[in-house]
Amino acid sequence: MFSRVLVANRGEIAVRIIRALHELGVEAVAVYSTADRDALHVRLADQAICIGPPSATESYLRIPNVIAAAETTGCEAVHPGYGFLSENPAFVRACVESGLIFVGPPAEVIEKTGDKARAKAEMRAAGVPLVPGTEGVATLAEVRVAAVELGFPVLLKATAGGGGKGMRVVDRPEDLESAYGAASAEAEAAFGDGSMYLEKALVPARHVEIQVLCDGHGGVLTLGERECSIQRRHQKLIEESPSAALTSEARETMEASVERACRQLGYLNAGTFEFLLGPDGSPSFIEVNCRLQVEHPVTEMVTGIDIVREQLRIAAGERLSVTGRAPRAGHAIEIRINAEDPRRDFAPAPGLVSRFRPPLGPGVRVDTAVFEGASIPPFYDSMIAKVIVRDDTRDAAIARAIRSLEEFEIEGIPTTRDLAIDILRSREFRGGAYSTSYLAEMEGRLPSMVPA
The least CB distance from residue 141 to ligand ADP, in Å, is 21
Rounded to whole angstroms, the Cα distance separating 267 from 109 reads 7
168 bridge partner residues:
156
Could you say whether residue 293 binds ligand ADP (CB under 6 A)?
no
Candidate residues 274, 306, 418, 428; the one interacting with ligand ADP per rule CB under 6 A: 274
Could you say whether residue 417 binds ligand ADP (CB under 6 A)?
no
**Contact positions with ligand ADP (CB under 6 A) in 425-444:** 436
CA-based nearest residue to 276, from 55, 46, 437: 437
What is the sign, positive or negative, of the torsion defined by CA atoms of 137, 141, 143, 145?
negative
210 bridge partner residues:
225, 273
Could you say whether residue 202 binds ligand ADP (CB under 6 A)?
yes
Displacement of CA 94 from its chain's centroid (Å): 24
Candidate residues 74, 127, 151, 164; the one interacting with ligand ADP per rule CB under 6 A: 164
Q: What are phi and psi of 31, to 5 degrees?
A: -120, 150
The least CB distance from residue 309 to ligand ADP, in Å, is 26
Nearer to ligand ADP, 47 or 235 (CB): 235
- Among this protein's residues, is 291 annotated catalytic? yes
Contact 384, 337 (CB under 8 A): yes
One-character DSSP codes across 205-256 = -EEEEEEEEE-TTS-EEEEEEEEEEEEETTEEEEEEES-TT--HHHHHHHHH
Element (H, E) at 151: none
Nearer to ligand ADP, 197 or 356 (CB): 197
Nearer to ligand ADP, 155 or 254 (CB): 155
Could you say whether residue 369 binds ligand ADP (CB under 6 A)?
no
Nearer to ligand ADP, 115 or 199 (CB): 199
Rounded to whole angstroms, the Cα distance separating 316 from 79 reads 12
Nearer to ligand ADP, 233 or 425 (CB): 233
Candidate residues 222, 231, 243, 415; the one interacting with ligand ADP per rule CB under 6 A: 231
Could you say whether residue 199 binds ligand ADP (CB under 6 A)?
yes
CB neighbourhood size of 433 (10 A) = 12
User: Where do the H-state alpha helices sit in 24-136?
Assistant: 40-44, 63-72, 89-97, 107-114, 116-125
Nearer to ligand ADP, 226 or 386 (CB): 226
| Stretch of 193-201, 304-312, 379-387, 440-448 lying at the interface with ligand ADP (CB under 6 A) | 193-201
Candidate residues 54, 129, 136, 162; the one interacting with ligand ADP per rule CB under 6 A: 162
Rounded to whole angstroms, the Cα distance separating 313 from 307 reads 10
Candidate residues 4, 19, 93, 234; the one interacting with ligand ADP per rule CB under 6 A: 234
Compute how many residues bind ligand ADP; rule: CB under 6 A.
20
CA count, 13 A, side-chain hemisphere, 27: 11
CB neighbourhood size of 275 (10 A) = 25
CA-based nearest residue to 294, from 47, 8, 65, 16: 16
Could you say whether residue 276 binds ligand ADP (CB under 6 A)?
yes
Candidate residues 40, 286, 308, 419; the one interacting with ligand ADP per rule CB under 6 A: 286
| Stretch of 142-150, 200-208, 260-268, 335-343 lying at the interface with ligand ADP (CB under 6 A) | 200-208
Element (H, E) at 48: strand 47-52
Nearer to ligand ADP, 161 or 358 (CB): 161
The least CB distance from residue 107 to ligand ADP, in Å, is 19
Could you say whether residue 201 binds ligand ADP (CB under 6 A)?
yes
Could you say whether residue 287 binds ligand ADP (CB under 6 A)?
yes
Burial of 189 (0-12, 13-18, 19+ CB in 10 A): exposed
Nearer to ligand ADP, 244 or 352 (CB): 244
Q: What is the CA radius of gyration of the chain?
A: 21
Rounded to whole angstroms, the Cα distance separating 452 from 450 reads 6
Q: What are phi and psi of 260, to 5 degrees?
A: -60, -45
Could you say whether residue 131 binds ligand ADP (CB under 6 A)?
yes
What is the sign, positive or negative, of the torsion defined by CA atoms of 53, 57, 59, 62?
negative
The least CB distance from residue 144 to ligand ADP, in Å, is 18
The least CB distance from residue 364 to ligand ADP, in Å, is 26
Could you say whether residue 155 binds ligand ADP (CB under 6 A)?
yes
| Stretch of 171-179, 183-191, 202-210, 388-396 lying at the interface with ligand ADP (CB under 6 A) | 202-210
| Stretch of 82-90, 160-168, 292-300, 324-332 lying at the interface with ligand ADP (CB under 6 A) | 160-168
The residue annotated as part of the active site, out of 62, 291, 336, 390, is 291
Residues that bind ligand ADP (CB under 6 A): 131, 155, 161-164, 167, 199-202, 205, 207, 231, 234, 274, 276, 286-287, 436
Q: Active-site positions?
A: 291
